[in-house]
Amino acid sequence: MTQQRIRLVAGALASMAITLFGLLLVTFVISRLLPADPVLAIVGDHATDEYVERVREELGLNKPILVQFWIYLTNVLQGDLGQSIRNGTPIIEELANVFPATLELATLGTLIGVVFGIPLGVWSAVRKDTLIDHVVRFVGLIGYSVPIFWLGLMGLLVFYAKLDWLPGPGRLDFGYEDIVTPVTGLMTVDTLIAGDTDLFWNAVGHLILPAGLLGYFSLAYISRMTRSLMLGQLSQEYILTARVKGVSETRIIWKHAMGNIMVPLLTVIALSYGNLLEGSVLTETVFAWRGLGLYITDSIFGQDMPAVMGGTIVVGAIFIIINMLTDLAYRVLDPRAK
């Protein structure tokens, strides 16, 4: 048994290493294929040819491509993602500053999707082809069909500009962000650590619209997949047998059927969480949310390729970690996976 576990762990680590290597290779190749010259982005268009070549040599960009990739690979494995072209700050520090904002937003959005999406999906499956089913499916259709940036703009227009029920863009009201000492990077947590309840509720108010928007997007996906998985189980023979034996409908649905869809549903939730972590670019842009998505967007417009590559690596690493944790959860939830 011990040897089997060692082989499983070794296989998982090998798979992660191969995936990470492929990710680094792809990001490196794309960065070299893009027409933007990182040296010109640093020195400007009016620099002399001698100065351009000197900077290119200092960055190692005049070396053979395989040597460049080896240097890039060893630096990343040592935690060195390079320096930002725009301000010379180490990229790893910049990512550490912006990632908690995205983590806070995506985590709350996923919680909203799970808390409301799973019951709605189950309800829709149990009431198949009824008015309730059609309403839930229509709500889900709107959630993953309408552009998310449009929903964000409409949310700001209605709840901020017109009704004045919620605060506007940003993580705090203008001028307040510098008051809070960053500890975790999570604004709601840091305001509580500072003991300022007014700032805490201000941070919560700023979180409602963007997190609710991502939560609605997550809800639409999770409810749709839950309905599909639940319909597949409700048509199985063991469900009919349980009903013949007089088992209550609630127990059949939430214990027997839900227990059998829990493993694939876990994959759905994990993918939804990963998508929100890396796919909140438009939401962060609309709400001026200083997170990973907005950071990558600004880096693209600023032709800061080292920063774009660093952000891409973080996104890829997130998916690798989520997949690993999902596999581990499989073995806990489904004894057959052992």
Which residue ranges form the domains of the chain, and what is each CATH number? 2-77 (no CATH), 91-337 (1.10.3720.10)
pLDDT in tens, 147-206: 888 888 899 999 998 988 888 888 888 777 778 888 888 888 988 988 888 889 999 999
Residue 84 is predicted with a pLDDT of: 84
- Cα dihedral value 231, 268, 263, 227, nearest 10: -10
Kindly report the pTM of this predicted structure: 0.83
Q: Is the dihedral of CA 52, 53, 54, 59 positive or negative?
A: positive
Band (pLDDT 50/70/90 cuts) for residue 246 is confident
Q: What is the mean pLDDT of the chain?
A: 84
- pLDDT given at position 110: 93
* Residue for token pair 């198949």: 128
pLDDT at 67: 85
3-state secondary structure of 94: helix
pLDDT above 70 for 2: no
Contacts of 116 (CB under 8 A, 6+ apart): 215, 219, 223
DSSP-derived letter for residue 262 is H
Tokens matching residue 157 = 């227009």
Residue 338 has pLDDT above 60, yes or no: no
